[in-house]
Chains A and B, each alone.
Chain A
Amino acid sequence: MTSLAAPSPAPPPRARSGLQPARLPPRELFGAALQGLRTRRLRAALSALGIAIGIGAMVAVVGVSASSQAQLLAEIDALGTNLLTVTPGTTFSGNNEILPSSSVPMVAGMHNVDSDVAVYQVSGATVLRTPYVPAQETGGIGVDAAGGNLPQVLGVSLAAGHFLDAVSARYPEVVLGAQAASVLQIETIGGHVEVYLGNTWFNVVGILKPVLLDSSLDSNAFISLPVAERLFHVQPNPSEIYLRANVNHVPAVAGLVAPTADPQNASGVDVSRPSDALEARAAAKGQFTTLLLGLGAVALLVGAIGIANIMVISVLERRGEIGLRRALGATRRHVSLQFLTESALLAALGSLVGLGLGAGATEIYSIAQKEPFVVPLYALVAAPASGLIIGALAGLYPAGKAARLSPTEALRV
């Protein structure tokens, strides 16, 4: 195309009848669509709001559950994933195996075992507030004999008092699990709190916080092994051994611990890693609620209908512009692509706003819950992408309508 700036008339152009309409580059299409939106800002903003709310709700659901999951995983990490539990297994016939008493020193002597504690079940013993409570109303509280380092090995602290110590080895003292304390309605150990354990009054010296790595311990009461042997004739066969392996050698230790604990009958020893179960639970918690996602989807649908609605009105209002573009050489395809792009752009902008809203809601939630702030990476991609797709779908009908408009009719407006 020659410039018209030349003062003398350029040679007259002849019919260039081989010329075809231009393929509109995306940048031009984008520019035309953006201009269409810019001239009707308020309306564009309002119609994008539906999409923003829908996407925002979904991002918030995903973000909040991801944050809770991250929190749980962080807790598990703090507790350590190197705890192993050794328990007697069951035989083929369903009887319980018995761990030999030698298993405790054998396990403690293993390479890469940093610490360990053995727990011995005191069978038949009940814990009651007074002797007048019928003995069969145990409240589900079991009695265990345990080493004094149980809190350290299991990573649990005390809600009140202290754990079993040297004194406890000689005198009847008991530490209650969180659940056991609540069943007995003992909240503090102030003054002098006693429970009737077996046939003896035991002084309550401590209450444990919930044991996250093994919640079965929460409903137990703990006494020292010497007292248990003396008063209840407990056999020195452990019901559980908890051990902390060197973090870099956990699988190796887990493989070796059974034959070490019982060389004669390694298959009668069960070894588990409690953090595995917790991690599975965390993964389950990360699964956002389908119901809330469904509500978000409904909001998206409503938003899409709103956009389709606005675009139809826009096509009717802009008949003049459509006719003009056709007169300027736009094909039907150019016109429909322009409106399709406009609709997709509108929804994509709405979904970006929604992403911001959802992330903001997650941020507020995570601050309130003191959880880490997490919005999954896929949400950052999926939100604008789904906006584009929804917008394009919503724009199909209005764009087709615009393309079918007769240019002369449109120009008469």
Chain B
Amino acid sequence: MLALETVVKEYPGGVAALRGVSVDIGDRDQVAVVGPSGSGKTTLLTILGTLERPSSGEVRVAGVDVGSASDRRLAGLRAHEIGFVFQSFHLQEWMTAVDNVATGMLYTGARSRDRREAARAALERVGLGHRLDHRPGQLSGGERQRVAIARALAKRPVIMLADEPTGNLDSKSGAEVVALLHDLASDGATLVLITHDPGIAATFERRIQMRDGEIVSDERR
């Protein structure tokens, strides 16, 4: 599902965030990526999510060669196949939970009514059926992250990418969110999650450790 072959990513100014990373993540794998700050975890995730192209090396995401695909093609891939969950939620403050989730499907081309229906179902799935018309400001951190997860899953992506989804949460809500992600991904999606927390990493069957832009260990339970 996700394949990287000697991927290098350099940012302007000569900073190499990834120095020749090769990794293969199979369909419905659940992978935790751990490592200290600056080790290249987030860069790896943005490359997997087709938000960035590699400086060199090959990237294949859901069968698409990211290096040669057009901006439109990659946007289509993100719209239909990839669900993102961010540390800082990135919810629109002025929108209700339903609208936030429905906006997540804006670029799939689904009709407004279908989007809202799917959004409602997704919010129920993450246990927020009673918070449909609340705005992010009226929700707790754990609830906000669950709205963001509902947004990522409502379009039924085949790949879910989570960048420190528990970073802004207390450990209890963090554990709940991770459990939810495991549960949702087991419905048929590949899950890649970045975390600092060894306890959370331990819940994954596969753990990739990074340091200084390289993979230093890749172990399976």
Contacts and interface: CB of A to CB of B under 8 A. Distances in A.
Interface of A: 1-5, 9-17, 19-24, 28, 32, 35, 38-39, 320-321, 323-334, 406-408, 411
A37 to B, nearest CB: 11
A359 to B, nearest CB: 33
B25 interface: no
Contacts of A324: 90
A17 B157 CA distance: 12
Contact of A16 (B72, B73, B81, B124): B81
B158 A328 contact: no
Contact of B124 (A5, A28, A408): A5
Given A12-B188, A17-B63, A22 B107 contact: yes
B52 interface: yes
Nearest to A329: B79
Nearest to B47: A408
Interface string B1-29: 10000000000000000000000000010
A329 B75 contact: yes
Contacts of B73: 20
B75 A330 contact: yes
A131 B149 CA distance: 108
Contacts of A328: 78-79, 84, 103-107
Contact of B106 (A12, A16, A24, A406): A24
A336 to B, nearest CB: 12
Contact of B121 (A4, A14, A327, A333): A4
5 contacts: A9-B188, A11-B188, A21-B72, A32-B106, A329-B108
A16 B188 contact: no
A411 B90 contact: yes
A44 to B, nearest CB: 14
A3 B94 contact: no
Contacts of B125: 4
Nearest to B186: A9
Contacts of A321: 90, 92
A22 B109 contact: yes
A388 to B, nearest CB: 23
B71 A16 contact: no
B76 A329 contact: yes
Interface stretch (B112-120, B139-147, B195-203, B211-219): B112-120
A327 B51 CA distance: 7
Contact of A3 (B51, B118, B187): B118
Nearest to B112: A28
Contact of A329 (B46, B80, B90, B114): B80
Given A1-B155, A321-B92, A20 B76 contact: yes
A356 to B, nearest CB: 27
B84 A327 contact: yes
A3 B75 contact: no
A11 to B, nearest CB: 7
B94 A13 contact: no
Interface residues of B, number: 53
Contacts of A16: 80-81
Contacts of B79: 19, 21-22, 328-330
B64 interface: yes
A39 B99 CA distance: 15
Contacts of B189: 12
B71 A19 contact: no
Interface in B84-105: 84, 86, 88, 90, 92, 94-95, 103-105
Contacts of A32: 106
Interface centre among B77, B153, B154 (most CB of A within 10 A): B77
Contacts of B188: 9-13
Contact of B76 (A19, A327, A411): A19
A-B pairs, top 9 by smallest CB distance, nearest first, are A12-B188, A329-B79, A22-B109, A329-B107, A4-B121, A331-B75, A15-B62, A21-B76, A21-B75
Interface string B149-169: 000011111100000000000
B75 A15 contact: no
B122 interface: yes
Nearest to B92: A321
Nearest to A5: B121
B89 to A, nearest CB: 10
Contacts of B109: 21-23
Contacts of A17: 62-64, 77, 81
B65 to A, nearest CB: 11
Nearest to A330: B107
Contact of A35 (B84, B94, B114): B94
B110 interface: yes
Contacts of A411: 51, 86, 90
B92 A4 contact: no
Contacts of A330: 75, 79, 106-107
Nearest to B155: A1
Contact of B63 (A15, A20, A24, A320): A15
A55 to B, nearest CB: 29
A1 B156 contact: yes
B49 interface: yes
Contacts of B72: 20-21, 331, 333
Given A10-B187, A19-B81, A411-B90, A406 B158 contact: no
Interface string B36-70: 00000011001001011000000000111000000
A327 B42 CA distance: 14
B152 to A, nearest CB: 9
A35 B122 CA distance: 23
Contacts of B104: 328
Contacts of A23: 109
A406 B47 CA distance: 13
A406 B71 CA distance: 12
